[in-house]
Chain A
């Protein structure tokens, strides 16, 4: 029944991440929250991998980590540029895309 604990932990992490993405204004915090979501997913993958005795989940988790690293790199670069242009990284002030 160890899987259930892993899944619960992952669900908790996921919820914290979602809360962070939706509620936080600071862009860096949002990025960190996204990282939490991704790691929740990784945890799920590994848990099921262990349970099913297959290595597929592990492989996929490695990919997710690599993509997450790239995503953080791109995200931080964008945050940096936003900061340079607007002297602020508050997301609720960024509404140029309003239709």
Chain B
């Protein structure tokens, strides 16, 4: 082990924003209450409170991010040297460990357990705080225009604000309890927001589906938290003085070398089941496309920075548990990487057969989340977290562009085949934002997606997961292809339906009612069949019906400005960690990735704010890659908080390969679209009906791999229905029989009791006392003569008798 050097200096204050980051989720939570109670009376119906609270959160988050960067800079420049121990670094450079800013208060106590609430701020938390607050602010501004005149405008903003509050509090969570709190708040709010237009049966069902599917996974969260708590509590109490819910505590326990292998494995598996549900991974991804039933701003927020990245965040947050539990570096296959890899391909293929522009984006999100999960599963922690960061910007931009198209271009329709096409000229700003974000998503150099996605693929290969690197590359090809298809159908080619100015509101409203989002048995593979109704074409948009009168046009400024901001970020966000340009550009790595350092137990968490721990040391040479935390057991008195992940060196040859694949996807898809949709090339049109293999594949995709059918027909029918029948039988025969028998017996007992005890004993006593009182009254009646003199005589006679008695007693 390399030399260690220990120095200690005065405590260093973390800065106001870092120490008080717990205020960030409080602000929108308070705003939610205010909007609910007073929103309708305010001039802007409560939306101003929502926007203001998100702006406040954004400012606080930005302050926290700024101070966090200062803290890291101070630590790495050696300005703050408190503890120096060994940190592994690549290439012989020294690395520093910057302790998280933890504050925790007791929330409630139960059975000797203390449940804390507070904050745990480190690079990961700061990144997500910033992204969530930023996207939420833009989405709320966008919603001001998009939902203008909606019948539940105030409630929409209330739920949106609470949704952000849930995500922010989850991101800050210092322990699993608060994490579950935020997680569940998001689950509730997603239900409220997806079902915002619940008058429509399909929307209400989509909301329920999202809620229940996520709940299936949530069981895993509770089970996993329980497993980790009971396994880790003894160790964390003994070594760190915190409970087994504490996130730092669990991380340190997982890497301590004293953790039980099976507890770690099962805990990690259970937690990952929760992530599968929340982050829409295969096979629980089916709720995500249906969640498109909500208003577009909701989809945008849900799919870019909140809710679905919650699962990815959980894996990133408790990374040591997954690292150790699933043996991320030991094998070349594990649960997470398999699920992630399968999700990438499955979702990307589904995106090809969608008619609904938002569903293309939904499957794209599922696929990109697959990338993040695959990266995490293969030890590429930093690229995965960086992909959360970049993906948030371009995916939010894509969704908001889709909303803009439906708002002003296609008369609230989301059907690309029927109501779009050729909109690039009519809506230049929206089209530009969309195309920039599409290229960023596809991973075109030098846009944001290139740096993050390529890093994931590169690192997955670097860590020995060769198969999954190939899956990642094919996913990149598919991404480029399906996004080109969506772009072509929406913005190029000839204008169709509403985009051509045809007013077809009647057709739409009919479609909405006939559209069954859950229909898993679409009979023909007819291109014109519309199973995906236009979700936003609701009565709530009556105020906008004038749009159709003057055809497609550019959206108002409240919509385009967020689009432009996000598009600019989709171009430049990747430069935050531009590995191809050298290590000076790897700012994200410097500020976000925790250092895999052995930290003295005395100096770590539970010390409260203001005590930055910076470790300076680490003189590992080249060739010592597999060393440090998670490879060596921490020496006594120290703990690890993060495994020593390795980073692939960027090589232009690999980068160019992936760029070539992306270019191939873009170009081939473009030519296919031109031939297929515009020229109607005879050899291509109808190919899926002539060729058996293609028809089978198309039907499989069109029916979403029959997963919905599996869940609803097979699982629900085969499992739930017999269970329901069994429960009904037990209810009818056993429970009701017992209840009825009890009833009969009690009735008989009651009859006997009535006749014997009630009638004879109780009533007898009551009547007897009444009769006795009557007799006594009659006997005493003459005494009450009403004559005062007589009373006086009696009084004195009694007094005389009393006196006589007294005299007799005293003598």
Contact = CB atoms under 8 A, between A and B. Distances in A.
Contacts of B789: 21-25, 30, 91-92
B111 interface: no
A96 B785 CA distance: 9
B436 to A, nearest CB: 103
Interface residues of A, number: 15
A95 B796 contact: no
Interface in A22-66: 22-25, 30
A46 B576 CA distance: 110
Of B781, B786, B788, chain A has the most CB atoms within 10 Å of the CB of B788
Contacts of B793: 22
A18 B796 contact: yes
Contact of A21 (B783, B784, B785, B792): B792
A74 to B, nearest CB: 15
Contacts of B781: 99
A99 B783 CA distance: 8
Nearest to A34: B792
B787 interface: yes
A21 B785 CA distance: 16
Contacts of B780: 99
B786 A22 contact: no
Nearest to B780: A99
Given A22-B789, A91-B789, A98 B796 contact: no
Contacts of A30: 788-789, 792
Nearest to B781: A99
B792 A97 contact: no
A22 B796 contact: yes
A57 to B, nearest CB: 20
A94 B788 CA distance: 8
B796 A94 contact: no
Interface in B732-785: 780-781, 783-785
Contact of A99 (B786, B788, B792): B786
Nearest to B785: A98
Interface size class of B (residues with CB under 8 A): 10 to 19
A71 to B, nearest CB: 14
Of A22, A24, A25, A92, chain B has the most CB atoms within 10 Å of the CB of A22
A13 B786 CA distance: 27
Nearest to A15: B796
Contact of A95 (B783, B787, B792): B787
A95 to B, nearest CB: 3
A25 to B, nearest CB: 8
Nearest to A25: B789
Contact of A22 (B784, B785, B792): B792
A92 B789 CA distance: 7
B786 A91 contact: no
B781 to A, nearest CB: 5
B798 to A, nearest CB: 12
Of A25, A30, A91, A99, chain B has the most CB atoms within 10 Å of the CB of A99
A21 B786 contact: no
A98 B786 contact: yes
A30 B783 CA distance: 21
Contacts of B788: 30, 91, 94
Contacts of A25: 789
Interface in B355-374: none
Contacts of A94: 786-788
A9 to B, nearest CB: 18
A99 B780 CA distance: 9
A91 B787 contact: yes
A97 B783 CA distance: 11
Contacts of B786: 94-99
A76 to B, nearest CB: 15
Nearest to B794: A22
A94 B781 CA distance: 17
Nearest to A94: B788
Contacts of A18: 796
A20 to B, nearest CB: 10
A25 B789 CA distance: 8
Nearest to A22: B793
B784 A99 contact: yes
B796 A21 contact: yes
Contacts of B792: 21-22, 30
B126 to A, nearest CB: 86
B273 to A, nearest CB: 85
A36 B103 CA distance: 88
A25 B788 CA distance: 10
Contacts of B783: 99
A82 to B, nearest CB: 11
Contacts of A98: 784-786
Interface in B570-613: none
A95 B785 CA distance: 7
B800 to A, nearest CB: 9
Contacts of B784: 97-99
Nearest to B797: A22
A95 B793 CA distance: 15
A39 to B, nearest CB: 17
Nearest to B799: A18
A16 B788 CA distance: 18
Contacts of A96: 786
Contacts of A21: 789, 792, 796
Interface string A67-99: 000000000000000000000000110111111
A92 B787 contact: yes
Nearest to B783: A99
A91 B792 CA distance: 12
A30 B796 CA distance: 14
12 contacts: A18-B796, A21-B789, A22-B796, A30-B788, A92-B787, A94-B786, A94-B788, A97-B784, A97-B786, A98-B785, A99-B781, A99-B785
Given A18-B796, A95-B787, A99-B786, 15 more contacts: A21-B789, A21-B796, A22-B789, A22-B793, A22-B796, A30-B788, A30-B789, A30-B792, A92-B787, A94-B787, A95-B785, A95-B786, A98-B784, A98-B785, A99-B781
**List of 6 A-B pairs having minimum Cβ-Cβ separation, nearest first:** A99-B784, A98-B786, A95-B786, A97-B786, A22-B793, A21-B792
